[in-house]
Amino acid sequence: MEKPEARLHAIVHGLVQGVNFRYYTVRAAERLGLTGWVANRWDGTVETVAEGSRRALEEFRAFLNRGSPSASVERVEAWWETPTGEFTRFGVRYL
């Protein structure tokens, strides 16, 4: 597996827990060929780390701003990090 070119780390605020946000995030990441994880946080936000091509991660970031059909995203804190290539797939992580 080749090393990903970019890594996006994001925290999504709003009504994002209990609305299938993680499920739709996994589906979006898989469709875009990304690896990484998504998790509910204790404060009601959702955190995600994804690696892949810069173009795919830009699309993923756009998805995070919309969220699942039942979600109400208020804002997304997102930043770029150095990719590590540590992931083999994209899944749900339990923090």
Reported as a pLDDT band with limits 50, 70 and 90, residue 4 is confident
**Which domains does the chain carry?**
6-92 (3.30.70.100)
**Catalytic residue positions, numbered:** 22, 40
The 10s digit of each residue's pLDDT in 35-75 is: 999 999 999 999 999 999 999 999 999 999 999 999 999 99
| Angle (deg, nearest 10), helices 21-31 and 54-66 | 160
- With tokens 């060929």, the residue in question is 33
**Are the C-beta atoms of residues 48 and 26 closer than 8 Å to each other?**
no
User: Which residue is listed with tokens 């890594």?
Assistant: 7
